[in-house]
Amino acid sequence: MQITFLGTSSGVPTRSRNVSSIALRLPQRAEVWLFDCGEGTQHQLLRSEVKLGQLTRIFITHLHGDHIFGLMGLLATYGLAGTPTQIDIYGPPGLNEYLRACERYSHTHFSYPLKVHTVQPGAIYEDEEFIVSCGYLKHRITAFGYRVTEKDRSGRFNVEKAAALGIPSGPIYGKLKRGEQITLPDGRVIRGADLCSEPEVGRKVVYCTDTVYCEGAVELAQNADVLIHEATFSHLDAQLAFDRLHSTSTMAAQVALSASVKQLIMTHFSPRYAPGNAVMLDDLLAEARAIFPNTKLAYDFLTYEVPRRLASEVKHQQSITNLS
């Protein structure tokens, strides 16, 4: 599970930062899921190691141009990239109408199935490995944050150890893999847990932009391994954030702290904090870390590997949190 930032600027692109888009790479299934698709996203993909041909799902937070103006170009290119499969796109009301109008007026023909899903708060997608849910954020237009939850994985079953114990292969192995307890014909009682490595807790990635601080973001981000949250403004410009319904660095940090996340990565920065100005992005980082130390600044093409955690590690961390 790997996150690649394709655009980390707010509103307009700069020389070093494109507008909003991140790619979530799922190597175990050779898939890429895209979150937002600002203008120039397909060019960013070409400059990255993310493979366009693996794209299967796109999640749009809201219909402001810096989050969707790259969508039609990307979709048109995707149809020329070898043997495209179906693309599923998720987003707020109006997204389907926008895409169909672009398709009609630009005379674009998609050579592959394109399905648009209008989302509402709650679970919007589930398969054997993942659940994706969304919730309302607080912005000038309808905006959603997204939460990707990987399902827990049982530990690896030790076939060699089972064979050494004289356990016959077949349906019994399936029961032991599920952690069940069995009794062999000779009377021995075998616990499945003794033949499996420790289970892995599913990872959780949350993406929240554009929004001012709101309880919806806190709820969506609960116990996330990674929270990607906009930080358009410095705390010094908090009034601008309230006026425009965007977040400051400290608001992002407060969401992370309140939701007990493991890692905060801030993105969607105003160009006003470019190097050489009175306030720069390092100042935003310092503001956030004063509240939530485990904070990073995103930059274009930053790649972050979401770490796996064993069940015992999670239980230990929860015990420490409860004591504190």
pLDDT in tens, 89-130: 999 999 999 999 999 999 988 889 999 999 999 999 999 999
Whether the pLDDT of residue 323 is over 80: the answer is no
Whether the pLDDT of residue 319 is over 60: the answer is no
Grade residue 301 by pLDDT with cuts at 50, 70 and 90: very high
Whether the pLDDT of residue 10 is over 80: the answer is yes
Backbone angles phi, psi at 256, to 5 degrees: -60, -45
Which residues contact residue 188 at a Cβ distance below 8 angstroms, ignoring those fewer than 6 apart? 165
State the DSSP code for 287.
Answer: H
Greater pLDDT, 156 or 201: 201
% of the chain surpassing 90 pLDDT: 73
**From the DSSP assignment, how many helices (H) and strands (E) are in the chain?**
11, 18
Half-sphere exposure of 152 (CA within 13 A, CB side): 11
Whether the pLDDT of residue 228 is over 70: the answer is yes
How much is the mean pLDDT over the chain?
92
Whether the pLDDT of residue 157 is over 70: the answer is yes
Grade residue 174 by pLDDT with cuts at 50, 70 and 90: confident
Q: Which of 195, 165, 160 is nearest to 179 (CA)?
A: 195
Grade residue 213 by pLDDT with cuts at 50, 70 and 90: very high
% of the chain surpassing 70 pLDDT: 95
Rounded distance between C-alpha atoms, residue 231 and residue 216, angstroms? 16
Half-sphere exposure of 270 (CA within 13 A, CB side): 21
**How confident is the model at residue 208, as a pLDDT?**
98
**How confident is the model at residue 312, as a pLDDT?**
63
First to last CA, the chain: 30
> Would residue 66 show up in a list of annotated catalytic residues for this protein?
yes
Domains of the chain: 2-153+199-323 (3.60.15.10), 163-195 (no CATH)
**How confident is the model at residue 178, as a pLDDT?**
74
Catalytic residue from among 36, 66, 237, 300: 66
**How confident is the model at residue 104, as a pLDDT?**
95
What is the 3-class SS of 17-66, one letter each residue?
Answer: CCCCEEEEEEHHHCEEEEECCCCCHHHHHHHCCCCHHHEEEEECCCCCHH
In sequence order, what DSSP letters do the residues of 160-176 get, joined into one string? HHHHHTTPPSSHHHHHH
